[in-house]
Structure 1
Amino acid sequence: MSGAFQPKGRLGAIVHNIEESLIALLLGLMTLVTFINVVMRYGFNSQLIWGLEVTLILFAWLVLFGIAYGFKVVSHLGVDAVINLASPSGKKILGIIAAAACILYAALLMKGAWDYWAPFAGLDATTGRVFPGIVAAEEGAGFFGLTFADGIFANSRDQGWYETDHVPIPFAQTWLENTFNLGEAYEKLPRFIPYAMLPFAVGLMLYRLVQLMVRLVRGEIDSLIVSHEAEDAVEDAGASLSKET
């Protein structure tokens, strides 16, 4: 069964086009900044001092956003030697189990992403335990020695004053200073802005995995990974090219 993604409805098509355009934009900006830096360095003995750092940030954004997009269009590679031995119903069950494991992992990853990013934005991290809001109880109390804490979020050290090494602030510097740095001046772009892609992309990844779970249950796809149809398409294209030549 093909896992090719087809956006549903006008809104779905618009969102799909925005995602693809954003990926293309990130890749294009990386290429442009790198090209300009190379020309300046070897042609004019100069450079964009912030060029390398911006390229690294854009690359990280591209990877994180691309992971979530890959889940959406079912384009991630994987080993399916065991899965292909199962019957269609068994393959569906294995796919659902794999999706559930991925959702659990993504949920834990989302917690870690938030805990890492939140202090840079002056926000609270979670309680810092595996599952937010759960702490060890006294012996014999609660279920399995666990009980719910009073709150999900815990105070964390404000790191809103942390800055990038070289990236300048392109806009809204006064608002950023008053909102995240107690009115103190920023010399460079605060780190919470580029780091914001981490919880955003992981949250999007979690959402896409839930969507995949729904598609598996409905029978629209039978696996989380790309099928051998991609290999067959490449072989067919190669065969056609050989005939033409």
Structure 2
Amino acid sequence: MRWLDRLEEWIVIAMLVAMTGLTFVQVVLRYVFNSGFTWALELTTVFFAVMIFVGVAYGVRIGAHIGVDALLRLMPSGLKRGVSILVVLLCLVYAGIVIAGAWVYVSKMKMVGVELEDLPIPVWVVRAILPLGYALMAFRFGQVLWQLVTGKSDSLHLADEAAEAMKLKAEEAKA
């Protein structure tokens, strides 16, 4: 699955670069040449949506999402693992509900046949990122669940903002 890991990273990078580049060009055109693209904001929004929905799955994969885990940290390893499995299962249920609802929504948009306001792209094509992004996120939660069930991990890996802040403060003090 290394190819999927790299694909996620490249999509997030490409969307960020495309958003930044298009916004920069639009600002230069608007303030230097008193011109611009009517479709730039809409395309930037599309890039942002793709980046966010792929980025959510990426965040699950690398454990970058924040969570309230103070109680979890106090639990013994076996209980911690059990609670983590329950939490991941609930996340998978949530993802499944959103995927189902998004699928219905995208299907209706396809039936209606509406295009974006400023670009000749069907709305359903752009909104397809909803079920796709959540499906990718569900896949990543499935990987976390597998790690927990097989004993390769004993808890969810969440971002520890306090530890990161303390580390940053210590590095600043050294400088």
Q: Normalising to structure 1: TM-score of the pair?
A: 0.67
Match of 1:200 among 132, 139, 144: 132
Aligned residue-pair number: 175
Q: Are the aligned partners of 1:78 and 1:225 in contact in 2 as well (CA < 8 Å)?
A: no
Matches within 5 A, 1:181-196: 188-196=120-128
Match of 1:24 among 4, 13, 30: 13
Structure with the higher fraction of residues in strand conformation: 1
| 1:239 matched residue in structure 2 | 170
| 2:158 matched residue in structure 1 | 226
Q: Are the aligned partners of 1:99 and 1:212 in contact in 2 as well (CA < 8 Å)?
A: yes
Match of 2:35 among 16, 39, 46: 46
Identity %, equivalent residues:
32
Matches within 5 A, 1:162-173: 162-167=114-119
Structure 2 distance, partners of 1:118, 1:34, is: 31
Structure 1 distance, partners of 2:159, 2:118, is: 44
CA distance 1:227–1:42, shift in 2 (3 Å): closer
Structure 1 distance, partners of 2:38, 2:150, is: 52
Per-residue deviation, 1:110: 0.8
Q: Are the aligned partners of 2:23 and 2:40 in contact in 1 as well (CA < 8 Å)?
A: yes
Q: Does residue 14 in structure 1 map to residue 8 in structure 2?
A: no
Q: Does residue 94 in structure 1 map to residue 83 in structure 2?
A: yes
Per-residue deviation, 1:17: 1.7
**Could you say what the CA RMSD is over the residues aligned between the two structures, in angstroms?**
1.7
Per-residue deviation, 1:41: 0.4
Structure 2 distance, partners of 1:55, 1:91, is: 42
Per-residue deviation, 1:14: 2.9
Q: Are the aligned partners of 1:77 and 1:225 in contact in 2 as well (CA < 8 Å)?
A: no
Per-residue deviation, 1:202: 1.2
Matches within 5 A, 1:34-183: 34-121=23-110, 158-159=111-112, 161-167=113-119
Moved more, 202-211 or 109-118: 202-211
Structure 2 distance, partners of 1:240, 1:47, is: 44
Q: Which amino acid aligns with 2:105?
A: Y
Per-residue deviation, 1:240: 3.5
Per-residue deviation, 1:206: 1.4
Q: Which amino acid aligns with 1:215?
A: Q
Structure 1 residues not aligned, in runs of 5+: 1-11, 122-157, 168-187
Per-residue deviation, 1:225: 4.2
Q: Which amino acid aligns with 2:125?
A: I
Q: Are the aligned partners of 1:37 and 1:48 in contact in 2 as well (CA < 8 Å)?
A: yes
